[in-house]
Chains A and B, each alone.
Chain A
Amino acid sequence: MTILAAEDLSVSAPDGTLVSGVNLRLDAGDRVGLIGESGSGKSLTALALLGLLPDGMRASGRVVVDGRDLLGRPDREWRRVRGRTLGVVFQEPLTALDPLMPVGRQLTGPLRMHHGLNRADAEAEAVRWLARVHLPDPARLARALPHQLSGGQRQRVAIAMALACRPRVLIADEPTTALDVTVQAQVLELLGELVAQTGVALLFISHDLPVVAGLARDLVVMRHGRVVESGSVDDVLRRPRSGYARRLVRSALAVTRLAGQAVPAGPEPTAAAAPERPAEPGSADQPKQTAQPTAAGDLILTGQHLTRRYPGRPAPALDDVDVNIRAGTSLGIVGESGAGKSTLLRLLLGVDRPTSGQVRFAGQPLDRVDARDFRRQVQVVFQDPRSSLDPRMSVASIIAEPLRSLRLAPNREERARRVAEVLTAVGLHPDDGRRYPHEFSGGQRQRIAIARALAPRPRLLLADEPVGALDVSVRQQIVDLLRELVDRYGLTLVLVSHDLAVVSQLCAQVMVLRDGRVVESGATDRVLTEPADAYTRMLLSAVPRLPSDLEPLSDDGRVDPGRDVPASTLVR
């Protein structure tokens, strides 16, 4: 029996149509995955199904719940199905819960409202649900405020809230996107378990094909507000009909085959356990953990015994970490949130000082290095180009800014010439310099940020999750661009990322951080194929993958033998 159906559902805002002609049907026991990128209209579709579109947006078509079309009906009628027939889990566990209300009370409210339970019964039921989502000590946890829980725990609470009133459809809108990969794996497992136990029909919305494919039986692929493909998971994965679905499958397969695809080893970053003095090159180069011989290449930036404690925190954010960055290498720093990746990057950049230990640049302690020279040689690309570019500056002046502040280009003409050069280098047009950041897409903005980093001709490029804020289909382009630029300009690259696929494509070496410590480091292909540390293994196995028997596809749908990354271009 159909519980929830969208028929020819469209959503329009004053300045255009955002979703058009979507048809969806959820029967009891269905598990449908809705996949698409930001702007594809998948989340708006979900909100339209709930009658919760943002102000100013209008839905048309039909949203049928239990045989009744609710579109255009008063809120009173929607409220009868929200929470009771349709449960929702939203993306951001940090903001989806009221920060000032104990999580138990956030659960009991709807229970009392929908099922008329008295306070004691509602509380007992809430605790039961907290236990069902496998939260420890649920009776005590019911009294906690959201900020006292981890992101994964909060999402478990949100799932309990969505399911507590026993809805017959669960809409999960990117429920694991904000979570670390190992936590994501746990939450996905929990969702699968609860869906099986309760028999609730599932509409799982995500941009991440492997995540969806793991839970759903049917797939609906959306792009630019339209459904471009739908069918069983098996059909879509094996016989994608649209070019877009084919691309999605292909980039997901890159992750699946991640282990075999790693970049071959270049010069080795010295293993973390071996303290060495870069000032005496003769005595160095004796890594203890790895057998790889270290190739030549000057040490550009090193950190020895780096520890960073923050006041009021018992555990250090970074704990006795050594890192050696040689010219011409590419080092990936991998770890989950809180691992110390960003702290390490900040220390290496000299924007933060270690509590103990020392960062050296070209053999000199950082505080004795000429700051301007350091900034010229070491440049950064940040995660989110929406916030790293000043919206009120033209692209040309954004890119020229380091040239001006580092006094690298004596006059306007020279600056303009360099700006045009780097714009071309990142695949934009020199005329784009006259435009402003908001006129560009996320991927283009990241190109601008990369151009700005390149402008002073740095030796070392630090990239902090450079594709983390971008859509899946754009990520590969930026990764390719970075690879090409590193190659062309002989850049040394340090890449901070939680995404093992990105690291495997860009970095010859990898360093795995956990709780501020290095758990493993070495050549990327070795670490990703034969991880020595249990945590690295867990990290690898937590990455959602498509079934490994799927063949890589080319654009025309045939098996593509030539998709393997040409290794020779990756590392210098």
Chain B
Amino acid sequence: MWRRSASGADRSRAGLGWLLRRIGWLLGSLVVAASAVFLLLRVLPGDPAVTLLGIGSSPEQYDAVRRQLGTDRPLLAQYVDWFGGLLTGDLGEGLFTRTPVLDQITERLPVTLPLALSAFVASALVAVPVGVLAAVRRRGLLGVVLSGLAQLGIALPVFWLGILLVWLVAVRWRLLPPGGFPRVGWRDPGGAVESLVLPVLTLTVAQASLLIRYVRSATLDVLHQDYLRTARSLGYSLPRALWRHGLRNGAAPVVNVLGVLLASSLLGTVVIESVFALPGLGTLLLSSVQARDLPVVQGTVFLMTATVLLVGLVVDVVQRLIDPRLRGRA
């Protein structure tokens, strides 16, 4: 049983040191992200008080609203508030709804998380075998067709595909609801699943197409490696040699893309949720941007950024698990 060599405590200690440093980086990035999100929103045009009041209000009304919203206070004080809140897990309150931002976000998660995660898992499950097949059969008809389909999937705009599916499946065939989400949420599991099928399908097509290309090129790379030739010279068939040596070696670049994909599927929900009228994080973000509800925008964007950074950390850890050579390095 020769698994990878786990040569003792010094190695795992080095790994721990690396992990701590990496987490330190993550925290630093979060601080930068929090500041950037805050500053960007103040720099961008649009005043929530104006939005709230509409055109034609008096300066007195305007000042009062600004005081009420807290947007009249010095930038530094607002920044300190925002930061202090973050440390205690308080993202502030929405300007208009007066409900905690965190609650608004967690309310939306039961829609967005299942959507993003199942699309992610489905893309991976589809793309890995298809990508490998496209690489192995690259000279045959099958490989050309698969690559072509992937190319098409990348070229199609997500919203257009979504609309097409709605028209076909929901409007013409009346198989699934065209959009929306059960008012009672997951307490109506059948309804919830039904309303997520089309969005997940749409997102999966878009993401799997992209992933197929990466899996294909990672597999091609492995196919051209000397060690694969060595394996074949020892009597392994091409599929067995690929299984034995390709899986792990090909995984490294693919895991990187998976990380990017997971992060982008979270951001991709903005478009998908609008197309399918789903009350998720994406629509929350969109509506609060339109309303200039700064705390909500701020909180949502920060949370998405934090997720992306965290996914990056996970990717790095997985990379080191896959490739022990990385562990020698600091």
Residues of chain A whose beta carbon lies under 8 Å from any beta carbon of chain B: 50, 52, 55, 75-76, 79-80, 82-84, 86-88, 90, 92, 95-102, 104-105, 108-110, 113-114, 119, 123, 142-145, 147-148, 158, 161-162, 165, 312
Residues of chain B within 8 A (CB-CB) of A123 are 2
Q: Does B233 contact A (CB under 8 A)?
A: yes
Cβ 8 A contact of A75, one of B1, B238, B323: B238
User: A100-B248, A145-B325 known; A113 and B235 CB under 8 Å?
Assistant: yes
User: A90-B226, A123-B2 known; A110 and B324 CB under 8 Å?
Assistant: no
B1-23 near A? 1/0 per residue, CB < 8 Å: 11111000000000000000000
Residues of chain A within 8 A (CB-CB) of B323 are 99-100
Contact B233–A82 (Cβ < 8 Å): yes
- In the bound complex, how far is the Cα of B324 from the Cα of A175, in angstroms? 27
- In the bound complex, how far is the Cα of B322 from the Cα of A79, in angstroms? 30
Q: Does B79 contact A (CB under 8 A)?
A: no
Instruction: Across the interface, name the chain A residue whose C-beta is closest to B5.
Output: A143
Instruction: Give 25 A-B contacts (CB < 8 Å), ordered by A residue.
Output: A52-B229, A52-B233, A75-B237, A79-B236, A82-B232, A82-B235, A83-B233, A87-B233, A90-B226, A95-B226, A96-B230, A98-B230, A98-B231, A99-B227, A100-B325, A101-B244, A102-B3, A113-B234, A123-B2, A143-B5, A147-B325, A148-B5, A158-B230, A161-B234, A165-B235
- In the bound complex, how far is the Cα of B229 from the Cα of A162, in angstroms? 12
Residues of chain A within 8 A (CB-CB) of B118 are none
Contact A165–B234 (Cβ < 8 Å): yes
Cβ 8 A contact of B227, one of A76, A84, A95, A108: A95
Interface residues of B in 209-251 (CB under 8 A from A): 225-227, 229-238, 244-245, 248-249
Residues of chain B within 8 A (CB-CB) of A92 are 226
Distance to closest chain B CB from A120 (angstroms): 10
- In the bound complex, how far is the Cα of B323 from the Cα of A147, in angstroms? 11
Cβ 8 A contact of B230, one of A102, A114, A148, A161: A161
User: A50-B233, A109-B244, A110-B234 known; A96 and B226 CB under 8 Å?
Assistant: yes
B235-271 near A? 1/0 per residue, CB < 8 Å: 1111000001100110000000000000000000000
- In the bound complex, how far is the Cα of B245 from the Cα of A96, in angstroms? 12
Residues of chain A within 8 A (CB-CB) of B226 are 90, 92, 95-96
Contact A110–B235 (Cβ < 8 Å): yes
- In the bound complex, how far is the Cα of B230 from the Cα of A92, in angstroms? 11
Contact B324–A98 (Cβ < 8 Å): no
Residues of chain B within 8 A (CB-CB) of A50 are 233
Contact A96–B2 (Cβ < 8 Å): no
- In the bound complex, how far is the Cα of B149 from the Cα of A364, in angstroms? 65
Cβ 8 A contact of B233, one of A88, A108, A113: A88
- In the bound complex, how far is the Cα of B267 from the Cα of A95, in angstroms? 40
Known: A96-B230, A100-B248. 19 other contacts (CB 8 A): A50-B233, A55-B139, A82-B232, A83-B233, A83-B234, A87-B233, A90-B226, A90-B230, A98-B227, A98-B245, A99-B325, A100-B324, A101-B248, A109-B244, A110-B236, A113-B235, A145-B325, A161-B234, A162-B234
Q: Does B330 contact A (CB under 8 A)?
A: yes
- In the bound complex, how far is the Cα of B231 from the Cα of A197, in angstroms? 25
- In the bound complex, how far is the Cα of B245 from the Cα of A50, in angstroms? 20
User: A90-B229, A147-B325 known; A105 and B2 CB under 8 Å?
Assistant: yes
Instruction: Across the interface, name the chain B residue whose C-beta is closest to A161.
Output: B234
Distance to closest chain A CB from B274 (angstroms): 43
Contact B330–A312 (Cβ < 8 Å): yes
Contact A145–B4 (Cβ < 8 Å): yes
Instruction: Across the interface, name the chain B residue whose C-beta is closest to A82.
Output: B235
Contact A101–B237 (Cβ < 8 Å): no
In this complex, the interface size class of chain B, counting residues with CB under 8 Å from chain A, is 20 to 34
Instruction: Across the interface, name the chain B residue whose C-beta is closest to A158.
Output: B230
Instruction: Across the interface, name the chain A residue whose C-beta is closest to B322.
Output: A100
- In the bound complex, how far is the Cα of B5 from the Cα of A79, in angstroms? 31
Residues of chain B within 8 A (CB-CB) of A108 are 2
B124-162 near A? 1/0 per residue, CB < 8 Å: 000000000000000100000000000000000000000
Instruction: Across the interface, name the chain B residue whose C-beta is closest to A91.
Output: B226
- In the bound complex, how far is the Cα of B232 from the Cα of A24, in angstroms? 23
- In the bound complex, how far is the Cα of B330 from the Cα of A109, in angstroms? 33
Contact B2–A104 (Cβ < 8 Å): yes
Contact A97–B232 (Cβ < 8 Å): no
- In the bound complex, how far is the Cα of B36 from the Cα of A333, in angstroms? 54
Residues of chain A within 8 A (CB-CB) of B5 are 102, 143-145, 148
Residues of chain B within 8 A (CB-CB) of A98 are 227, 230-231, 244-245, 249
- In the bound complex, how far is the Cα of B3 from the Cα of A315, in angstroms? 30
- In the bound complex, how far is the Cα of B169 from the Cα of A254, in angstroms? 80
The 4 closest A-B pairs by CB, nearest first: A83-B235, A83-B234, A95-B226, A104-B2
User: A101-B248, A104-B2, A143-B5 known; A96 and B227 CB under 8 Å?
Assistant: yes
Cβ 8 A contact of A95, one of B1, B3, B225, B237: B225
Distance to closest chain B CB from A404 (angstroms): 38
- In the bound complex, how far is the Cα of B246 from the Cα of A99, in angstroms? 11
Contact A82–B248 (Cβ < 8 Å): no
Distance to closest chain A CB from B146 (angstroms): 18
Cβ 8 A contact of B249, one of A100, A102, A110, A161: A100
Residues of chain A within 8 A (CB-CB) of B249 are 98-100
- In the bound complex, how far is the Cα of B226 from the Cα of A92, in angstroms? 8
Distance to closest chain A CB from B281 (angstroms): 38
User: A52-B229, A101-B248 known; A143 and B330 CB under 8 Å?
Assistant: no
- In the bound complex, how far is the Cα of B330 from the Cα of A110, in angstroms? 35
Residues of chain B within 8 A (CB-CB) of A84 are 235
Residue with the greatest number of chain B CB neighbours at <10 A, chosen from A83, A108, A114, A123: A83
Contact A52–B227 (Cβ < 8 Å): no
- In the bound complex, how far is the Cα of B296 from the Cα of A255, in angstroms? 78
- In the bound complex, how far is the Cα of B3 from the Cα of A123, in angstroms? 12
Residues of chain B within 8 A (CB-CB) of A110 are 234-236
Residues of chain A within 8 A (CB-CB) of B4 are 100, 102, 143, 145
Residues of chain A within 8 A (CB-CB) of B231 are 98
Residues of chain A within 8 A (CB-CB) of B244 are 98, 101, 109
Contact B230–A97 (Cβ < 8 Å): yes
Contact A82–B234 (Cβ < 8 Å): yes
- In the bound complex, how far is the Cα of B325 from the Cα of A110, in angstroms? 25
Residues of chain A within 8 A (CB-CB) of B234 are 82-83, 109-110, 113, 161-162, 165
- In the bound complex, how far is the Cα of B225 from the Cα of A90, in angstroms? 12
Distance to closest chain A CB from B78 (angstroms): 43
Distance to closest chain B CB from A372 (angstroms): 37
User: A100-B323, A148-B5 known; A79 and B225 CB under 8 Å?
Assistant: no
Residue with the greatest number of chain B CB neighbours at <10 A, chosen from A50, A52, A101: A101
B167-188 near A? 1/0 per residue, CB < 8 Å: 0000000000000000000000
Residues of chain A within 8 A (CB-CB) of B1 are 119
- In the bound complex, how far is the Cα of B234 from the Cα of A80, in angstroms? 10
- In the bound complex, how far is the Cα of B42 from the Cα of A293, in angstroms? 78
- In the bound complex, how far is the Cα of B236 from the Cα of A75, in angstroms? 10
Contact A97–B235 (Cβ < 8 Å): no
Contact A114–B238 (Cβ < 8 Å): no
Cβ 8 A contact of B235, one of A95, A114, A148: A114
Residues of chain B within 8 A (CB-CB) of A158 are 230
- In the bound complex, how far is the Cα of B240 from the Cα of A76, in angstroms? 12
Residues of chain A within 8 A (CB-CB) of B330 are 312
- In the bound complex, how far is the Cα of B80 from the Cα of A68, in angstroms? 83
Instruction: Across the interface, name the chain B residue whose C-beta is closest to A114.
Output: B235
Distance to closest chain A CB from B328 (angstroms): 8
B273-284 near A? 1/0 per residue, CB < 8 Å: 000000000000
Residues of chain B within 8 A (CB-CB) of A83 are 233-236
